[in-house]
Amino acid sequence: MPSSRIHCRYRYALPLLIGIIFALNGCSSSSSGGGGTGPGGGGSTPVTVMTTSLPGGTVNSVYSFQLAAGGGTSPYAWSTTSNNLPAGLSLSATGVLSGTPTAAASNVAITFKVADSSKTPQTATATLTLTITNAVSTLNITTGAIPNAQINTPYSFALAAAGGAARRASRWTS
């Protein structure tokens, strides 16, 4: 019965050897995640903000732009750390910057933060600038025909115009 003595003597060796290997590699023998690219892991590459610039917007015009991220584990959660979005805009958790800007803003630096969905979320930030401009339309004279004047008779006639910059007085010259 020498083979049964050998079997009894080494029956704990295999589990012990597996435990030592896991300990040396920094791994866990549980299946709850904690590494790798699965849902519990941190992804094979770091999460990054892929968007490098924001398109400009116009006051009182609908604005919508999807921010992009890469690496890590999707889906991603977005936020701002600077809390200075132009009036009328908001950022969704999915990374959509949208709304209707209500005031002009020039080169506003906005810091965006993205977090991946791994068990221990990775984060990345990027500061991008956004400019919101006033809508400028062409000034058009809308008066049709002007009545003829009479010599030695006072004359007055109102001209009408539409468009141009809002809240600015127009100056008429002949």
Predicted model pTM: 0.58
Q: Where are the domains of the chain?
A: 1-30, 48-133
Please report which confidence band the pLDDT of residue 27 belongs to, taking 50, 70 and 90 as the band edges: very low
The structure tokens listed for 149 are 């004047």
Cβ proximity of 107 and 88 under 8 Å: no
The tens digit of pLDDT for each residue in 92-134 reads: 999 999 999 999 999 999 999 999 999 999 999 999 999 999 9
pLDDT tens by residue, 38-88: 444 445 799 999 999 999 999 999 999 999 999 999 999 999 998 899 999
- Give the domain 48-133 fold: Immunoglobulin-like (2.60.40)
Q: How far apart are CA 135 and CA 139, in angstroms?
A: 12
